[in-house]
Amino acid sequence: MVVFCFLVDQRRMVRSSKPAAGICSRCGGCASVADMETATRFCYVPLYRKTWRAIICTFCGALLKSYR
Ligand SMILES: [Zn+2]
């Protein structure tokens, strides 16, 4: 069986979020504080995983501010 390895895959996920004060500078939607998780995988093998906190727009998903 051939295993295809194409590329490094990085995905950003929102683990949880709750409403925050402020509005989005792009669309004017509601901002929320979110616990983000960035997972980097290579050939579907997880390399590392990082959790961080950011303020995102719940409407358009824009990243308004991040705390790293
Ligand atoms: Zn927005």
Domains of the chain, by residue range, sit at 8-67
Given phi > 0 = left and psi -120 to 50 = alpha, else beta, which region is 61? left
| pLDDT of 67 | 78
Q: What is the pLDDT of residues 12-53, one digit of tens each?
A: 999 999 999 999 999 999 999 999 999 999 888 889 999 999
Q: Which residues surround ligand 1, an ion (CB under 5 A)?
A: 24, 26-27, 29, 57, 59-60, 62
pLDDT at 5 over 90: no
CA of residue 20 to ligand 1 center, whole Å: 13
| pLDDT of 52 | 94
pLDDT at 4 over 80: no
Sheet holding 30-42, edge to edge: 8-23, 30-42, 45-57, 63-67
CA of residue 38 to ligand 1 center, whole Å: 20
Which candidate, 39, 68, 29, places its Cα nearest to that of 56? 29
